[in-house]
Amino acid sequence: MGMFLQSLREGGGVYAVEKNELGFAIVRKPDADPEASNELAREPLSQSGDDFVALPVSDGRMGYEQVFIIPID
């Protein structure tokens, strides 16, 4: 797993990490600034490709509630 995915798995100030059988999700924390969280969510979406797939979940307001990350082995 690359350094980028490893850093996402560690969690952060605006998001929590939820692991599942396929990979993990980065989920916006309830008290997080939506714009900071959206900016963070855009990173895996823009880097998705050979190493992993990123699937966003909309918050219904032009932003992201969470992003599912599925590593490609």
Using pLDDT thresholds of 50, 70 and 90, give the confidence band for residue 66.
very high
- Which pTM does this prediction carry? 0.85
CATH number for the domain formed by residue range(s) 3-71: 3.90.1070
Please report where in the chains the tokens 């490893």 appear, as a residue.
6
Q: Which amino acid is at 3?
A: M
Using pLDDT thresholds of 50, 70 and 90, give the confidence band for residue 68.
very high
- 1-60 per-position pLDDT tens digit: 578 888 888 888 889 999 999 999 999 998 888 888 889 889 999 999 888 999 999 888
Q: How far apart are CA 2 and CA 33, in angstroms?
A: 27
**Predicted pLDDT at 35:** 87
SS3 (DSSP) at 21: coil
